[in-house]
Amino acid sequence: MHNIDIKKTAIETLELEASAIHNLTGLIGPDFVKVVDTVLNLQGRVIVTGIGKSAIIAQKIVATFNSTGTPAIFMHAADAIHGDLGIIQTHDLIIAISKSGNTPEIKVLVPFLKQTGNTLVAIVGNLSSFLAQQADYVLDTTVAREACPNNLAPTTSTTAQLAMGDALAVCLQTCRQFSDRDFAKYHPGGALGKQLYLKVSDLSDANGKPVVGPQANIREVIITITKYRLGATAVLDGQNIIGIITDGDIRRMLEKYDDLSKVMAENIMARIPKTIDRAELAVEALHKMRQNNISQLIVTEDDRYQGIIHIQDLLKEGII
């Protein structure tokens, strides 16, 4: 294939899958709403099962459910009929995913699922199939054709299944008013988790509290900035924060003053410094630094000086 043919094929694939997802909007009916209501009032868990590529989609849907507040377990349809049916408990709801709804494993599995009395939901692309006829609720993921040029390999159909699962998860998340703080409980690792739970105080408390008075001379200011390695020091008049001096202020001072012997902190400090409360999320400190094109923020609690947070603190924690 020439490059132009490759690009054309890629675009056609994406357009087919995008069209399939768009068409799902017309297939969201009363059963979808009933499934959401049932899961919201569920005393058990959601068991998601499938075979082949649908099983892979089922695993992703389970992962999305679990991370957004809906307890879920994956059960492979082939393994289910060889012992894994024991996963299912009395109050669980079962979601079975299948394009055709007529695969041998599904036909063997469904009668056993019906015997348990659990609610059975089908995500299926064939409304006349065995699975669709046996299910309590049907979520229609019918597609016109696969993106595969032979109309065989599951492509468009699995995209539709995945999108339907996401629609369920997001509806459940919204109904539960599942917040970003709730999300953080399930994602404590990595940069994403840190953005959702790491507070300014978690970083600034380890930094020390560089401070000078307004009449401090330049030598004292430079020694203080160097000692704490934060590129800045706060200027306090008693308990009141009246300014900040950064490395940049020192450089600008050298350009402005020839005689440094009488220069004091109050002569070179930046007044009304940018501050952030120690209880704020660390990622908010990043946003504020970027908005103001600065590298440090003074940390406060009830307007009292608590220290300094530096952009390097955020880099070390992977927030950036």
Give the domains, in start order, of the chain with CATH numbers. 3-178 (3.40.50.10490), 200-316 (3.10.580.10)
Please give the pLDDT value at position 252: 92
Please give the pLDDT value at position 187: 63
Query: Given the DSSP bridges, would you call strands 240-246 and 270-271 parallel, antiparallel or unpaired?
Result: antiparallel
Integer distance in angstroms from the first to the last C-alpha of the chain?
A: 41
Residues 53, 157: Cα–Cα separation, whole Å: 10
- Residue by residue, pLDDT tens for the chain (320 residues) are 688 789 999 999 999 999 999 999 999 999 999 999 999 999 999 999 999 999 999 999 999 999 888 999 999 999 988 888 889 999 999 999 999 999 999 999 999 888 888 999 999 999 999 999 999 999 999 999 999 999 989 999 999 999 999 999 999 999 998 876 667 666 666 666 677 678 999 999 999 999 999 999 999 999 999 999 999 999 999 999 999 999 999 999 988 888 888 899 999 999 999 999 999 999 899 999 999 999 999 999 999 999 999 999 998 888 77
Please give the pLDDT value at position 144: 93
Please give the pLDDT value at position 67: 87
Please give the pLDDT value at position 215: 96
Q: Which amino acid does the sequence have at 158?
A: T
Residues 202, 197: Cα–Cα separation, whole Å: 10
